A and B are shown apart, each in its own frame.
Chain A
């Protein structure tokens, strides 16, 4: 997030696109709803009329996978009607002419046809955004989990720059992160292309810096493989050993049958986890890790805030903190690592090596955490980034993008679109919520379908249906809901049985390698 949660409730306007905050980030949704109570304009753009839409002045019920057509349509109106922030764009941005040419390519009527949002509603939203400024744009996986995920993100950024909404308080481009520490895992360089602090693995100066700090030579100087590429490398033996730390890949990845084939083909799998799960079925060695509450450390939240995580219980049996396990393995390769606690790792290594974290030390985050960039120990942290439209790269770059459809669209054989996500009462594959009493609130997968599709297939609420895609088939209970538009089926991946990932399409955004969890073609019928 370029901006902070504390701005939400005081925002003048919010554009929430592809984010079902009330279920996936409930506390953030409280702030959005408070903003509405305080008079803010809320625009929700989502195929489902989810709970936040009840609070919105405008809900644009777009078709799955049509975001760029819709956003380009908005930008076309802003340009055509001269409603964009001209001084901001000319002072702080580049690439405007290319963007203008791109958004003028598609007539509004066509944008309306693709997105299912009528021309006058596109115009109304554009005009509302031009007047109710600044607006905070918030999104989640509804934007990223598409084969055009990267372009979707670019498109949201384009809109916000065109409106002059980046680099101001109560504005910004704000992706809400799904996991407690997915931001931190990125910041720590658990990515194939960067060291901690987003320092490129291909930069010789950076390599030299890390070789010196770690007392080693020969750090790999190339960009590594992403999860889907590693998985695809297992059957071909390009990847012979797979170290899986705290991920239940056998349930979370798209097209479970394909995933199971890959994992079965692996020569050597190490799982480091807190429970046996669907993935440990394929493990050759399982290492027991300490869980949340059993060690000292930090998580970094969506708003770039580094928060303390504290120990309040002893790990069971022989379970050990993960850093200890990695350190012990390093020792077996004759490397002695110096740090022996979360605090030593952070204070003496991480915050020394990552410039944006340099000013964050445990002693400073005993109470509220600090938001990076925080380059030195006198720095108060950064609530919102790119202040005054001053971007890290200099000028904000418009990246003109065209709409592309999902890899698989509805057809005669599979006439419905399946979109997937998370529900309020569970979290991912339930390794945590399933053991915390939340199963009593939601004990099985459900498929949300529209009343019209239910009627067409003779299905009533609560009945079992067969939900089928080209990749798999599940028996699942139907939940008939008027929050779902005709033609859409919505399901989650919390339980192995009925899991939507038996059906999802293992196709990926070419750059980010994010899978298209949000769109594939399915059909339904009553279970016999």
Chain B
């Protein structure tokens, strides 16, 4: 087991792991932009540079393996200065519109700049005007804000394996493209939104969240997806009772942050204007509003009458595979313990 020293502290590392992985386990934070936990490191952004005694240059902690006796300084003046310059270079061609940006409060670039004490633009502003791609039903792209960290490419190809996003062009013309550089809405994108969740800046955002308020005003509730039987864990971000966005819960079983188009974007239905808001009773062929007491009394008396005339087996029921266990339990209890009818089923087999 290699032993390393980090900022004067002795740390046990694992053979073959990267410096970042050892630091992470010890709770020592080094910033990253391109790194996606669990995937192969790419060493693209260089903001995780650290100083290692005896090494000529700084090393990227995300991709450099530990070796026994390494003496690492994560926040030496040399490391900080390098990070600062890298971030200043990234900011050079990044639009200054944080005030209007959806990612504003969640922006990792902004947060990094702040933590490095960057208060103004050092290099000439080379940012391009916004290049919005609004062609996708749920995802907005703004190439001007892209810092080419490649996280979206990594998750699209190696996590959800939908293989839509990639790097196109080279050098100063490098950019992220969909398929053969077609608008996202015309590409093979299946709108899982993994790229949006991975993007550290405002280059990829949710269309539906555009007018829902900023995230420092919101609260987050963890819950389980209402669609298929995988049981993905969701973080529902709310502004009051309004749903702002849904994201996958990182490191949670079973989905570990990933979602599909329905889980991530199919959340409006509880808010639909045509929700049932009152009991209804059919009268002369039409459904008319009724109070709970009136409706429940009617159901109870009709069921009692049928049980009295034809026995409990003249009642059948279908329970709901989309509702909670507690609701399903209650319905079968109603049928068995109260109505005494065995005829309860649900869509288990379809």
Contacts and interface: CB of A to CB of B under 8 A. Distances in A.
Nearest to A194: B332
Contacts of B330: 322-323, 326-327, 337, 345
Interface in A106-163: 141, 144-145, 149
A5 interface: yes
Given A299-B231, A302-B229, A515 B224 contact: no
Given A242-B318, A245-B317, 8 more contacts: A26-B262, A30-B160, A230-B318, A293-B243, A307-B231, A329-B334, A345-B326, A441-B137
A41 interface: no
Contacts of A300: 231, 325
A305 B231 contact: yes
B161 A34 contact: yes
Query: What size tier do the contact residues of chain A reach?
Result: 35 or more
A179 to B, nearest CB: 4
Interface stretch (A273-281, A399-407, A447-455, A478-486): A273-281
Nearest to B301: A332
Interface of B: 137-138, 158-161, 190-192, 208, 221-233, 236, 238, 241, 243, 252-255, 258-263, 265-272, 274-282, 287, 292, 295-300, 302-304, 306, 309-310, 312-350
Given A34-B161, A303-B231, A436-B269, A225 B345 contact: yes
Given A180-B224, A214-B333, A227-B318, A319 B324 contact: no
Contact of B295 (A30, A189, A287): A287
What 9 pairs between A and B have smallest CB-CB spacing? A317-B277, A301-B231, A297-B324, A246-B320, A177-B229, A224-B342, A26-B260, A33-B161, A288-B276
A100 interface: no
A292 B254 contact: no
Contact of B299 (A6, A270, A280, A424): A270
B253 A305 contact: yes
Given A218-B340, A345-B326, A427-B262, A5 B254 contact: yes
A240 B254 contact: no
Contact of B300 (A316, A333, A512): A333
Contacts of B340: 218-220
A437 interface: yes
Nearest to B192: A26
B269 A432 contact: yes
Contact of B254 (A177, A305, A323): A305
A56 B321 CA distance: 32
B296 to A, nearest CB: 5
A208 interface: no
Instruction: Give the interface centre of B262, B327, B343 by most chain A CB atoms within 10 Å.
Output: B327
A272 to B, nearest CB: 8
A4 B266 CA distance: 25
Given A185-B319, A312-B238, A342 B324 contact: yes
Contacts of A346: 325-326
Interface in A282-298: 283-289, 291-295, 297-298
Contacts of B348: 182, 185-186, 190-191
A102 interface: no
A36 B158 CA distance: 11
Contacts of A306: 325
B17 to A, nearest CB: 19
Instruction: Give the interface centre of A246, A270, A328, A509 by most chain B CB atoms within 10 Å.
Output: A246
B138 to A, nearest CB: 7
Nearest to A282: B282
A159 to B, nearest CB: 21
Nearest to A244: B318
B350 A141 contact: yes
A251 B312 CA distance: 27
17 contacts: A4-B254, A182-B229, A189-B329, A195-B336, A225-B345, A243-B316, A244-B317, A252-B347, A283-B287, A293-B270, A297-B323, A302-B231, A312-B223, A345-B326, A345-B329, A424-B262, A433-B266
B337 A216 contact: yes
A513 B267 CA distance: 32
Contacts of B268: 435-437
A209 interface: no
A141 B347 CA distance: 12
Contacts of A178: 228-229, 321, 350
B278 A317 contact: yes
Interface in A312-371: 312-314, 316-323, 325-330, 332-333, 335, 337, 342, 345-346, 349-350, 367-369
A389 interface: no
Main secondary structure of the interface of B (DSSP, over half): mixed
Given A291-B275, A432-B266, A5 B347 contact: no
A187 B325 contact: yes
A243 B224 contact: no
Given A25-B229, A192-B345, A225-B343, A239 B315 contact: yes
Given A37-B158, A307-B233, A284 B327 contact: no
A287 to B, nearest CB: 5
Contact of B282 (A5, A283, A349, A514): A283
A515 B222 contact: no
Nearest to B290: A285
A182 B346 contact: yes
A276 B276 CA distance: 7
Given A285-B280, A288-B278, A222 B228 contact: no
A300 B325 CA distance: 7
B211 to A, nearest CB: 14
Interface string A252-268: 10000000000000011
Contact of B322 (A180, A239, A320, A326): A180
Interface in A183-219: 183-192, 195-196, 201, 210, 214, 216, 218-219
A333 B338 contact: yes
B339 to A, nearest CB: 8
Interface string A371-383: 0000000000000
Contacts of A424: 190, 260-262
A292 B263 CA distance: 12
Instruction: Give the interface centre of B161, B310, B333, B336 by most chain A CB atoms within 10 Å.
Output: B333
A333 B312 CA distance: 13
A310 B222 contact: yes
A264 to B, nearest CB: 13
A305 B272 CA distance: 30
Nearest to A179: B321
A197 B19 CA distance: 48
A427 B319 contact: no
Contacts of A512: 349
Given A5-B254, A240-B315, A180 B231 contact: yes
Contacts of B262: 26, 424-425, 427, 433, 436, 438
Instruction: Give the interface centre of A237, A273, A328 by most chain B CB atoms within 10 Å.
Output: A328
Contact of A312 (B192, B221, B225, B344): B221
Instruction: Give the interface centre of A216, A237, A274, A327 by most chain B CB atoms within 10 Å.
Output: A274
B287 A286 contact: yes
Contacts of A288: 275-280
